[in-house]
Chain A
Amino acid sequence: MQEPVSAIIAERAREPDGMRRMLGVSFGAHIVVVAALALMPAGWRTWQARALPRDVLFISLGGTPGPRSTGMTPIDARPIQQVVSEPELKKPQWIQPPAVATPEMTVPAPKARPAPRSTTPPVTKAPDTARGRTPTKGTEARGGTARAETGATRGTGFGGLTTGGGGGTGGYVEAGNFCCPDYLGTMVSMISQNWNQFQQVAGETLMKFAIQRDGRITNIEVERSSGYVALDLAAERALIATGQLPALPAAYPDAQLVVHLSFQYKR
């Protein structure tokens, strides 16, 4: 039994060609897009044009180098113990029960009993404020405000490190979250060795430079001139002469570390 309609319907139900071709076109287009993404110059596909170098540190090189206390807690400029005189404490007194009144003379009456005179309840327990407090003996040590002068004046600490520095004026550090203070200590001492601090004028030069990951000092520039070419040049010379520092610590993630270093000359 074959209906004439069925043949036509079966014929119509077949899928026309074209699907395979479109699939091929689509796959081709996807491959082209992916390949273009992969092969295009690296500069085009970064959406963030170039990571700005992070300004991490402001370090000042000032005065003579102080005592080196690498890795240890500096003892200067700490509150020290001071003897404080004890304020006089009043010795607490026990509360006395009220004096018992002398009974009046009364004619003894066989049946009457004298009414109690006192309405105060008998004290059996001392109040809380009078609980036995032993008075202190001797003097008490407390944190004072006096400073112990150890010869080392305030240093510029890199997160817990002192690098010393005499003179004590204008030593400052503005550290970002740089991981490794030891490295900065090394850097400052290496640069100070190459720095002729004693010029004929006083002034301050702010230098800016970058430490590459392998420790090279690059991009040296005078950020704020002292006004004297000699001072600027001496600072620049110190950086150029130092040239190579130890490689940046592995814990620091960026490719380079930008440092602002101030060179302070005091005649």
Chain B
Amino acid sequence: MRTLGLYALAYLAQAGGAPPPAPAEVTTDIVSLVARSSLVAKSVLLILLVFSAVSWGIILYKLWQYRRAERQSRTFIAVFRRSSKFSEVQSVCKSLAASPLVGLFQAAYAELNSQLRQQAGAPAGRPAAVPARPTLKSLDAVDRALLRASTVEVARLEHRVMFLATTASITPFIGLFGTVWGIMAAFENIGAAGSSSLGVVAPGIAEALIATAAGLFAAIPAVYFYNHLTGHVKRFAAAMDDFSLEFLNLAERNFT
């Protein structure tokens, strides 16, 4: 509902804001060209505007999410390396929830805890590291828990980035469609006017080319940020692999 309202507003701003072009003068500025263009061209521009707005929304959101995740991961790693007990680390997890490493740690810690609790006859509420020399039944299970968690984390980081790829590949085509349509209309006008002087041809073609420009306007940031964000996700995945190996090493050293 909210987005629908925004579409209508955007359309109003586009159509209503333009002053009517002077009757005798042939002006070449963007707004009057848009105001004079056909309904198809206007709707193509509107679609491109919506695509651009949504993809910029995703870009901003993802940049914000990744920056937070990076900062909190650094803090988390520092806390993890400094503390001697997993339970200490577990207590800071709430405040660092944006970091993907926290997800990994929580999953592995839950698995570890359940194994140790089963072994120790499940004394409720006791931390894992307290028994004299607790041992793990299976380190593989911990590994699997880490794997599951990292899959989920990567999926969470990648969520909606695909929309950028979609935008990057289809908005130029949508713009091209608008241009082709506009040029068809321009040729019809030439046929109707019966003259092919530049004065008749040029405004129609200029009007048609706006659609291509708008398509590129939407596509170029989407391409750039798609690559940028995908690179970020790869770095996160590497950090998660690194962390899970580190965790497994610690668990093996302490609990077997």
- A residues adjacent to B (C-beta < 8 A): 4-5, 7-9, 12-13, 15-16, 18-19, 21-27, 29-31, 34-35, 37-39, 42, 45-48, 213, 251, 253-255
Interface string of B164-185 (1 = CB under 8 A from A): 0000000000000000000000
B17 contacts A8, CB within 8 Å? no
Out of A22, A42, A48, A254, which one reaches B57, CB within 8 Å?
A: A22
A15: min CB distance to chain B, Å: 7
Out of A22, A251, A254, which one reaches B64, CB within 8 Å?
A: A22
A31 contacts B10, CB within 8 Å? yes
**Binding site secondary structure of chain B:** helix
A37 contacts B30, CB within 8 Å? yes
B61 contacts A23, CB within 8 Å? yes
Choose the segment among B105-113, B121-129, B223-231 that binds chain A (4+ C-beta atoms closer than 8 Å): B105-113
Counting chain B CB atoms within 10 Å of each CB, the highest count among A7, A18, A213 belongs to A18
Q: Can you name 22 A-B pairs with beta carbons within 8 Å?
A: A5-B107, A5-B148, A16-B97, A18-B65, A21-B61, A24-B2, A24-B57, A25-B57, A25-B60, A26-B53, A27-B3, A27-B57, A34-B14, A34-B49, A35-B17, A38-B13, A38-B17, A42-B19, A45-B29, A45-B30, A47-B28, A253-B26
B61 contacts A19, CB within 8 Å? yes
Choose the segment among B79-87, B153-161, B246-254 that binds chain A (4+ C-beta atoms closer than 8 Å): B153-161
B58 contacts A22, CB within 8 Å? yes
CA of A213 to CA of B26, assembled, Å: 13
CA of A254 to CA of B176, assembled, Å: 30
B30 contacts A31, CB within 8 Å? no
A8-B103, A23-B57 known, 8 other contacts, Cβ within 8 Å:
A19-B61, A22-B58, A30-B49, A38-B17, A46-B28, A46-B29, A253-B26, A255-B26
**Binding site secondary structure of chain A:** helix
Interface string of B90-114 (1 = CB under 8 A from A): 0000000110000100110011011
B64 contacts A15, CB within 8 Å? no
* Chain A residues near B24 (CB-CB < 8 A): 213, 255
A19 contacts B54, CB within 8 Å? no
CA of A22 to CA of B59, assembled, Å: 9
* Chain B residues near A29 (CB-CB < 8 A): 53, 56
* Chain A residues near B49 (CB-CB < 8 A): 30, 34
The chain A residue with its CB closest to the CB of B45 is: A34
Interface string of B44-77 (1 = CB under 8 A from A): 0000010011101111110011000000000000
B60 contacts A26, CB within 8 Å? yes
* Chain A residues near B26 (CB-CB < 8 A): 253-255
A8 contacts B31, CB within 8 Å? no
B52 contacts A30, CB within 8 Å? yes
A34 contacts B10, CB within 8 Å? yes
CA of A254 to CA of B203, assembled, Å: 13
Judge if B152 is at the interface, Cβ distance under 8 Å. Answer: yes
* Chain B residues near A26 (CB-CB < 8 A): 53-54, 56-57, 59-60
